[in-house]
Amino acid sequence: MADTSFARQCTTRIKCLFTTSCWASLFDTICDDSKAAGVEFVGTTFFLLFGLGGIQAATAESDDIRRPSSGVEQVLYISTCMGMSLLVSAWLFFRVTGGLFNPNVSLALLLIGGLKPVRFVLYCVAQLSGAIAAAAIVRGLTSAPLSVNTFLANGTSRAQAVFIEMFITAALVLSVLMLAAEKHHATPFAPVGIGLTLFACHLFAVYYTGASMNTARSFGPAAVSGFHDPNHWVYWVGPFLGSLLGAGFYVVLKHYRYWTLNPDQATTDPRKSPSDPIEKIEDKLNSVNPSINVTESSSAGRTGSSEAPTLNKIRMGEPSTSRNSAGDWGLLDVGRWGHASKTSLDDSAV
């Protein structure tokens, strides 16, 4: 039934593409789309200015023989710069434009219906232009040559680079779709999770491919420096495939109603919290053997009653010692009917 409805919707949308009214409706919000694209240009420039600026600083410091740094330190520095820059920039702009700053994320939102075609095109132009502007600013503000281009490490093939970029882009896209596009209690904090995702992906891929995950991030520096890398196409194909992979996985999750697999996971209602494990164990023991009243014995132990262990042993049919009214200790002998008869310790010794 659901598949038939989905096929009917797809057919309707395809027919709509060939009607004049459909094409005219695409430009109904062209004014707002243009304004949003302008702010997206500013946000992309803001994000990449500090991200690429950090990479430029890390490279310059590693080249300084007076302050040598290891490769691991440089990877951590670059990963932190890009992750924190995206976190801050996305948090600043996500209520205005969504804070995408990435044509591949924009493509994923277009595929799931979260972005209209006209705004998608304008966003891509703004993001690519913002990347060029950021790279040019970094080049103008620093004395060293631009060293923020992405390139393949020695021993990394083009096929490996494409798949690395595909998987890390899919991870970034999925974080945007699940944390920002999906509305829940943690949506206002989505930039934190998205920035941490970018940070983690950089830790893995920055050595092998430069960890682009963003065609604009690679295109901007390449345009400023003159497209010297013959493998630049990797940073178009890999992230494009990652957009398809991330969006496709999200569509599957939505189609099979992922929220039913673990209900109430995003709720803040304390009544949905797990119950007391000790009470569960006591209820289980009482249901297995009703003659063992674990609840009463545990409550008696908590109140400090000295008779609780004796009474509990009597219920279980075990001998126990107790003090009689005369003050001497005796042995309580439990008969077959559960009645306790006292025998003095001296008699029992005989």
Indicate if 254 and 304 belong to the same structural domain. Answer: no
Q: Which residue, 230, 259, 288, sits at the end of a domain?
A: 259
Q: Report the number of distinct structural domains present in the chain.
A: 2
- The count of residues in the chain is 350
Give the pLDDT mean for 149-164.
Answer: 96
Q: Which of 6-10, 218-222, 326-330 has the lowest mean pLDDT?
A: 326-330
Indicate if 70 and 194 belong to the same structural domain. Answer: yes
- Within 13 A of 46's CA, how many CA atoms are on the CB side? 18
User: For residue 299, what pLDDT band results from cuts at 50, 70 and 90?
Assistant: low
Q: What is the CATH number of the domain that holds 170?
A: 1.20.1080.10
Give the pLDDT mean for 72-95.
Answer: 94
Q: Which of 252-256, 264-268, 282-286, 300-304 has the lowest mean pLDDT?
A: 300-304
Residue 56 has pLDDT above 80, yes or no: yes
Residue-range definition of the domain harbouring residue 300: 278-349
Rounded to 5 degrees, φ, ψ at 208 are -85, -45
Indicate if 214 and 295 belong to the same structural domain. Answer: no
The proportion of the chain whose per-residue pLDDT surpasses 90, expressed as a percent, equals: 60
Residue 296 has pLDDT above 60, yes or no: no
d(CA 181, CA 187): 8
Indicate if 224 and 287 belong to the same structural domain. Answer: no
Give the pLDDT mean for 70-92.
Answer: 93
Indicate if 89 and 200 belong to the same structural domain. Answer: yes
Sign of the C-alpha dihedral computed for residues 128, 142, 192 and 42 taken in this order: negative
Under a CB-based contact definition with an 8 Å cutoff, are residues 106 and 113 in contact? no
Indicate if 302 and 234 belong to the same structural domain. Answer: no
What pLDDT digit, counting tens, does each position of 16-39 carry?
A: 655 656 666 778 889 999 999 999
d(CA 13, CA 92): 35
Indicate if 44 and 80 belong to the same structural domain. Answer: yes
Q: Which of 138-147, 230-239, 287-296, 333-342 has the lowest mean pLDDT?
A: 333-342
Q: Which residue, 228, 259, 290, sits at the end of a domain?
A: 259
From 44, 26, 236, 57, select the one nearest 119 (Cα to Cα). Answer: 26
> Which pLDDT value is given to residue 158?
97
Indicate if 94 and 193 belong to the same structural domain. Answer: yes
What pLDDT digit, counting tens, does each position of 157-202 carry?
A: 999 999 999 999 999 999 999 999 999 888 999 999 999 999 999 9
Residue 144 has pLDDT above 90, yes or no: no
Retrieve residue 12's tokens. Answer: 């309707």
> Which pLDDT value is given to residue 270?
86
1: exposed, middle or buried (Cβ count in 10 Å: 0-12, 13-18, 19+): exposed
- Within 13 A of 14's CA, how many CA atoms are on the CB side? 6
What pLDDT digit, counting tens, does each position of 100-131 carry?
A: 999 999 999 999 999 999 999 999 999 999 99
What pLDDT digit, counting tens, does each position of 269-287 carry?
A: 888 888 888 988 888 888 8
